[in-house]
Amino acid sequence: MDVPYTVPVQGAVMVADRNAFPLLGPKKDQPNPRAANSWPRRVEIPVGAKARSLEFLHTAGWMPAGKAPFAFYDVVYADGSVQSIGLRQGIEVTDWSEPAHGASCRIAWSGMSLEKQQVGLNRFAWDNPRPDETIAKVVIRIEGNPALLALIGLTCSPQPASLPRIEDMPPVSEWNRFIRLWGYSRFSKEGWTPALLRRASDQIRFLYEVQEGYFQTEKQKLNKLGFKGIVLGSNWMSMPLMTSADLKSNALLDMTDAHNYGGSMGLMRTPGGGTMGTGPERVLEKPFMLSEWNPAHGEEYRLCALPLISLYGQGLNGWDAPMQFGFKDVGWGFYNDYWAFTANYPSDLAQYPAMALAIRRGDLREGPVVYRRNVAPSEIFAESVVQHPYEPAWFAVGKVGTTFVDNEQPDTIDQKTIARCWDRKASVITSATGELTWDYGRGIAVCRTPRTQGAVGFLSRLPSIEIPSGKITCTTPFAAVWLSSLTDKPISASPRILISTGCRQAVSAVKSGEEAIYKPMIMEGIQVKISLRSSLASQLKVYSVGYDGRPKAELAVERSANSITFTLDTQLSQGPYALVTSEAVTIPVPLNLPTLQKK
């Protein structure tokens, strides 16, 4: 009913002309809430409206024992008359730290405090005996006791006071269960009762409507200003049960966004795992990006994450912009903190030329939609808990994602394509495009397109890996090797080919408790033999290339009529690249720069 109210801040100083929460706040010079007179004992709330009933959202603490009123709401009418409402513990209000249903109040909200304590708010409804008289104000007063009262919201209602029956409300133990389910349950029906689902549905619908209204209002403001760019909402999702509602409100804008920090340990054996687990939460009808992603810090197998996200996420699934988290400091080393920084991992950076070329010039084809998660309003607002049959490995077959539908319907699954592409017995998945193969039994993923070819994973587990332009034989246990045509021609006819590699890397030992200690990076050299078929075989030469992009030395080549074979040892060449070219190359004189030591 648009009741004006204000918030005491900075020691009960009132903020004028604001629609905010009225609270009884402490005085600035007496921060102890238990101290006598440390909180204001009287606060006035202007109303200026008629009401059939008043609804109070409130809580209290340190209430005296007994059933006598410890505080009062004085309803002051326009003619100056007063109707007092006494507040009693366990009847009109219950304790903040022990929320319960009272004789005249119900739990309206319950959650965890910063101290991990169960806390809650009560809803109290009062029938106004003079509904035709204007209420000028409501005065809150506490007299003769140290109790604290917090009024979170006051509503003037045109309807008689009404509260649900206690027997229809979840018991307090159910509220505790609700908080746990709200935070951790999603596709499981376990633990949800009809009453808890009704409560969840109401809360989700409220949060969705608030967020939807905010997004639409702000987009309209930007459009009026003449902004022509993409408008998107939040990259952070809410609690698991609300993810669908959160995603739905974000999908009202131009693009959906997410963050995902997934591990890389064991990733080669779990198609669709780690950061790729974001797949089904992408809205298929909208552009999609990951404005932050990264594997976990310090993992020696993290080099596989970048090509998997690039080839399967951005390539096969058509993600528009997966952005790997950048850097914290200059230098190839590691700080002893939580985050993982791309610029501090040479094997991440070394694969970017190959992956950027493959994506930006469209070397990979997007796959067909093989899994569409159909989400109806009943699921969005938790009116029912739906179990979706999604298997993460489908991400390696083709596109997966979400579509919002008007009515409940089964998810759309292209079982025929999945069965054709997924050899479960051999533990091998071939993408629907035929360009990608993931042998998750051995932990090897292979890319086979005309201009980008190569593999990542436990490459030494196979005697050699066949690619359209030859084969790769790698004796290093875990590595990445990529061949990229630097022209518009396929590798088999290109006069310039870049070889990029990625190796295992780890940080030197960091003692527990050290903070921000810079440690050197330990990198494993890669030994790989590459046999390359080319119509220009007689003209091709091979040069090792350092991290700075400078050719370092010409490598020995075994040559036949239509192929060349050469070995790249990154430990000896001290660089992750090689250049295969028919063009003249000048090897620069080493600069012999002094080594920079980080202090």
CATH 2.60.120 corresponds to the domain 8-169? yes
β strands within 62-202, DSSP E: 71-77, 82-87, 105-112, 118-127, 135-142, 148-157
d(CA 214, CA 221): 11
Give the pLDDT of residue 585: 87
d(CA 513, CA 574): 34
| Sign of the torsion formed by the C-alpha atoms of 455, 459, 461 and 463 | positive
Give the pLDDT of residue 446: 98
AA identity, residue 366:
E
Strand order in the sheet with 288-294: 256-261, 288-294, 321-324
- Name the 3-class secondary structure at 139: strand
Can you read off the two tokens belonging to residue 235? 């990259």
- Could you tell me if 188 and 385 are in contact, meaning their C-beta atoms sit under 8 angstroms apart? yes
Low-confidence ranges of the chain (pLDDT < 50): 1-37, 184-188, 332-339, 511-516, 596-599
* pLDDT tens for each residue of 452-485: 999 999 999 999 999 999 999 999 999 999 999 9
List of residues 6+ apart from 138 with CB closer than 8 A: 44, 45, 47, 54, 73, 74, 75, 76, 154
Give the pLDDT of residue 334: 46
Give the pLDDT of residue 14: 31
Can you read off the two tokens belonging to residue 349? 């950076």
Give the pLDDT of residue 392: 93
- What kind and span of H or E run contains 61? strand 53-61
Comparing CA positions, the residue from 575, 553, 437, 583 lying closest to residue 500 is 575
Comparing CA positions, the residue from 553, 421, 581 lying closest to residue 485 is 581
AA identity, residue 64:
P
The domain segmentation of the chain, as residue ranges, is 8-169, 194-423, 428-581
Give the pLDDT of residue 571: 77
CATH 2.60.220 corresponds to the domain 428-581? yes
Query: Taking the C-alpha atoms of 181, 295, 272 and 466 in order, what is their torsion angle to the nearest 10 degrees?
Result: -170
AA identity, residue 379:
E
d(CA 360, CA 146): 68
C-beta neighbour count of 18 within 10 angstroms: 12
Same fold, 8-169 and 428-581: no
d(CA 198, CA 200): 5
* pLDDT tens for each residue of 111-146: 777 666 778 899 999 999 999 999 999 999 988 778
Give the pLDDT of residue 439: 97
Residues in the chain, overall count: 599
Give the pLDDT of residue 346: 81
Give the pLDDT of residue 385: 65
Give the pLDDT of residue 64: 83
Can you read off the two tokens belonging to residue 250? 């974000």
H-state helical runs in 341-450: 346-350, 352-360, 377-380, 415-421
